[in-house]
Amino acid sequence: MTAPGTGRLDGQVALVTGGGSGIGRAIVDRYVAEGARVGVLERDSGRAAALARDHGDRVTVEIGDVRAPEAHAASVTRTLDVHGRLDAYVANAGVYDYSTRFEELGENRVVEGFAELFETNVLGYMLGASAALPALRDSGGCLIFTISSSGLYAGGGGALYVASKHAVVGLVRQLAHELAPDVRVNGVAPGATLTALGGLAALGAADRRLDAELDGIDRHIPLGFVSDPADHAGLYVLLADPRDSRFMTGAILPSDGGLEVRGAARRPKGAR
């Protein structure tokens, strides 16, 4: 833990959606370690309780669903009431389609799957950004969006998930364009990460968790391992820290073990 007064985010306040688990939880832990106070919007009450237990009054949690506008209004209001300002808003809560192939979806499941996944992964980000913007304009703060390597490449999810993350890339770029020079907007694009990332209730997959299904994925990653949530957290510190990223907006930082450089050649026999 960083000593008080020496963190990179001393005096700053952040709000993280889905901060109870996985990448969001690692961001909350790291932000607190860097001196920030943090609001969280999270739908799972057990994970919310764990945050309160582990971080005391440095973290405030609003229990709610990112698909509901009123949940965002409540979490921003609570963060401002308790912590007095908002400098960094991290839209992060998401769900996965477990690579369900497009042809397997059929018309009904496309409609239901699209609603659940896009309302969480895209609408949830838009609603959060909208609720946070007045406070971010006041502070000269920033928006940070968790994207995915599926925002840049095909094959890491199905059509629903890959399309949703490509949509978030567009959202980063358009909001960066519209909000400059007042609010910086950037994204982080993690690759495979050991988390409890859940599936879609609409596809009967609400109880699946990704970390149980990543065996063998390391073979497809140039750096040869699957990441932990904490492996990405420093990038969220960088993007929230105006000293180190004040000239960055519209940027998307990959944190994926080198998917860009997998190359066209077959890997030599015996190579991982």
Ligand X SMILES: NC(=O)c1ccc[n+]([C@@H]2O[C@H](COP(=O)([O-])OP(=O)(O)OC[C@H]3O[C@@H](n4cnc5c(N)ncnc54)[C@H](O)[C@@H]3O)[C@@H](O)[C@H]2O)c1
Catalytic residues: 161
Q: How far apart are CA 52 and CA 50, in angstroms?
A: 5
User: Between residue 98 and residue 157, which ones bind ligand X under the rule CB under 6 A?
Assistant: 120, 146, 148
Contact 13, 83 (CB under 8 A): yes
Report 30-59 residues binding ligand X (CB under 6 A). Answer: 42-44, 47
78 near ligand X, judged by CB under 6 A: no
**Smallest separation (angstroms) from ligand X to the CB of 164:** 8
Cα 174 off chain centre by: 18
Binding of ligand X at residue 179 (CB under 6 A)? no
Residue 7 vs 94, nearer CB to ligand X: 94
Would you list the DSSP string of 181-248?
TTSEEEEEEE-SB-S--B--GGGT-TT-BGGGS-TTGGGGSTT-SPBPTHHHHHHHHHHH-HHHHTT-
Residue 85 or 173: which CB sits closer to ligand X? 173
Q: Are 37 and 111 in contact (CB under 8 A)?
A: no
CA distance 143 to 94: 16
CB-nearer residue toward ligand X: 3 or 212: 212
Of 3-11, 88-96, 107-115, 217-225, the window that binds ligand X (rule: CB under 6 A) is: 88-96
- Based on the shown chain and the rule CB under 6 A, indicate whether residue 94 belongs to the binding site for ligand X: yes
CB distance 16 to 91 below 8 Å = no
Q: How many residues bind ligand X (CB under 6 A)?
A: 28
Give all strands of the β-sheet with 13-17 in edge-to-edge order. Answer: 59-63, 37-42, 13-17, 88-91, 142-146, 184-190, 252-255
- Selected binder of ligand X within 24, 35, 39, 113 (CB under 6 A): 24
Q: Is 198 in the site for ligand X (CB under 6 A)?
A: yes
Q: Stretches 78-86, 169-177, 185-193, 240-248: which one binds ligand X (CB under 6 A)? A: 185-193
Question: Which residues of this chain interact with ligand X, rule CB under 6 A?
Answer: 18, 20-24, 42-44, 47, 65-67, 92-95, 120, 146, 148, 190, 192-193, 195-198, 210
